[in-house]
Structure formats: C-alpha cells, structure tokens
Amino acid sequence: MRVTFFSAKPYDREFFDRLNADVGFELMYYETHLGPHIVNAVENSAAICAFVNDKLDAGVLRVLAEKGVKYIALRCAGFNNLDLEAAKQYGMRVCRVPAYSPEAVAEHALAMILTLNRKTHKAYNRVREQNFALNGLMGFNIHGKTVGIVGTGNIGQAFARIMSGFGCTLLATDIRENDELKALGVRYVPLQHLLAQSDVISLHCPLLESTKHLINEASLQQMKPGVMIINTSRGGLIDTPAVIAGLRTKRIGSLGIDVYEQEEKLFFRDLSHTILNDDTIQLLMSFPNVLVTGHQAFFTEEALEQIARTTLSSLSRLEQGQAPENPAALLV
C-alpha cells in the first residue's frame, strides 16, 4: 500500500523509513502541508499520513475520497484539524496516535515553567557577556505553590505526577476524574475555583468548541494577579489579544506557549531570512516574560519512534480489516 505523507520533515522520514522495514509500505513524502493547493497531487495512494497543521476539511477529504484514499493516519494525538463527520460520510477510516510518550509533552511544560521562573535563558546570555549580576533574575520556589491542571488525560496525568514531586498543591479540572491522581493528592475542582487559586495554570485539554478560548478576558479576570500560564496543548485554547492585554496589565506574570492559534503559517519552518507577516506573534515574543517554542513539546526520540511505530501498525491493521491495537486510536 502506498502511504502519502504531508508536512514530512527529515526526522519524520528517518523514523518512518526505519520502522517501515517491518511493514513494507511504499512511503511517499511531501514536505508541504496538506490543503486544497496540493490535494490533487495525491495519486494511487490508499492512505494519507498527516500532522497537526495539515488541513483535512470536508473539501480536502472529498477530493481524497474521489482519488481512492481509504485511510487517514494522523501522526499526532489532537484531531481538531480533521472533519470527522465528512470522513465518516466518505467512508474513510481515520486513526491517530492517542498516547505517544505523554511524558515528552509534560516535561516540556515543566521546562517552560522552570525557564520562565528562573530565567535560565537570560542567565545563559548574560554570563556569556561576563555579566554575572543577578538583577532581574529572581524567581520563586515552585515548592508549595498551587498548580492548576486543565485536563488530566495522558499528558495532564504525567504533568501532575511531575509537579507532585515538587511538593505543589495540585488542583485539576476535567469532565472525568482520575482516581489514581486523587490518590496522589490531586483535588478536582470547578474551573472557576482552579483559575482563582492557581499560581501556575497548565492547559492539557483538547481544542473543542467547548474549550475554544478557554483563556479569555473574563477567565483572566478570575485569576490571581501574576499567574503563570502554560499552553502546550493547542493555540486555540487561548484568546491571544486577551492574553496580550493581560500581560500589559500584569494580571499574567508569565506566559509559556508551545502552540499558537495562527501557527500554521509559521511553525515547523525556518523563517529566519524572511520578515514575519504576523504582528501578534512578534508582539508576544517581545515581552520579556513570554516564552514561545514552535510546537516542539512532543519532539523527543522516544515520542518520534512511538509515533512511527503506532501509525504504521494502525495502518497495517486497518488494511487487513482489523481495528488498531489501542481502541482510542480509531476515530472513525
């Protein structure tokens, strides 16, 4: 079976080519993202493998279905970029990688917290210029602080375990409560309570209609002044103009984002020789208390290996008329 990849980078090819040795698919890679501009290039391919910023709306899925595509494999956990109803209508099977090294993302959230708090990125540059002064580098002890976790699925759980090791009070909100986390000391509270009590808020819920712009002007008003907000989930969870206003009024003490609502045109590319056509991210990056990373929370060797292994296994099983090994991998 031919599998056509979109948004494929050299590191994707490395892991997929290696693990495909056991499966024997014909893998075809496009570096461009999937969208109306390229969908007609798909030929003789029963399967598509797509990533977070590939656009799989009804129009694109219709063309893919006409071209005989039967399987869509998302090599990521989130699936907000795919129209599930349309996929169902066109009789396609869609799978994803529900849990690939949740620790990778949880550890990146921690890296953002520690960097923003202890300003190691600034200290690194300072000492290189023989400036050993400490002014402006003061942080706070994470021990004893209240950390609010929005969404305690795979990643939120891993994050809760890490933060419990720091000796934090842990609050969480989720539509499903996790008994193991409760035993660890996590207290489930309504979102409003979490927003009002937390010194650090970390977002780990999916982007849905109900979670879009969860962080907005009104929710910011409920937070402690000086709160740290971390988003490694999806950019759309945050209303960016509201957050910029919150940074200006100092309601937000620091912000770490690995995802950005308009990231499609920016992330996963080297744009160092161009002038960015996005004033909002330029403004965000100019704040000294904002840390932006380009959707790299998942980017560990372990995660990439697991993504490739799970994706190839699910496609192979779907081709043989079987469900993926993990039921949560099958979306349609």
Annotated catalytic sites, by residue? 234, 263, 295
Task: Name the residues that contact ligand NAD, by CB under 6 A.
Answer: 77-78, 99, 102, 105, 150-156, 173-176, 204-207, 210-211, 232-234, 258-259, 295, 297-298
Q: What is the closest distance, in whole angstroms, from the C-beta atom of residue 80 to ligand NAD in the complex?
A: 7
Task: State both tokens at 271.
Answer: 């744009």
Task: Report the residue number, 102 or 253, with the smaller CB distance to ligand NAD.
Answer: 102
How many residues does this entry show for the chain? 332
Task: Report the residue number, 166 or 299, with the smaller CB distance to ligand NAD.
Answer: 299
Task: Report the residue number, 45 or 233, with the smaller CB distance to ligand NAD.
Answer: 233
Q: How far is CA 332 from CA 59, 61, 92, 233, 236, in A?
A: 18, 13, 7, 22, 23
Task: Report the residue number, 151 or 246, with the smaller CB distance to ligand NAD.
Answer: 151
CA dist., res. 247 & res. 217, Å (int):
11
CB 156 within 8 A of CB 177: no
Nearest alpha carbon to residue 289 among 249, 236, 329:
249
Task: Report the residue number, 90 or 267, with the smaller CB distance to ligand NAD.
Answer: 267
Q: What is the closest distance, in whole angstroms, from the C-beta atom of residue 232 to ligand NAD in the complex?
A: 4
Q: What is the closest distance, in whole angstroms, from the C-beta atom of residue 196 to ligand NAD in the complex?
A: 16
Q: What is the closest distance, in whole angstroms, from the C-beta atom of residue 210 to ligand NAD in the complex?
A: 5
Q: Could you please report the per-residue DSSP string of 78-137?
A: --TTB-HHHHHHTT-EEE--S-S-HHHHHHHHHHHHHHHHH-HHHHHHHHHTT----TT-
Q: What is the closest distance, in whole angstroms, from the C-beta atom of residue 49 to ligand NAD in the complex?
A: 16
Q: What is the closest distance, in whole angstroms, from the C-beta atom of residue 212 to ligand NAD in the complex?
A: 10
Where are the extended beta strands (E) located within the chain?
2-5, 26-29, 47-50, 71-74, 93-95, 146-150, 169-173, 187-188, 200-203, 227-231, 252-257, 290-292
Task: Report the residue number, 45 or 154, with the smaller CB distance to ligand NAD.
Answer: 154
**Which ranges of 10-101 does DSSP label H, i.e. alpha helix?**
10-20, 58-66, 84-89
Task: State both tokens at 273.
Answer: 């020789």
Number of helices (H), then strands (E), in the chain = 12, 12
β-bridge pairing 47-50 and 71-74 = parallel
CA dist., res. 312 & res. 27, Å (int):
11
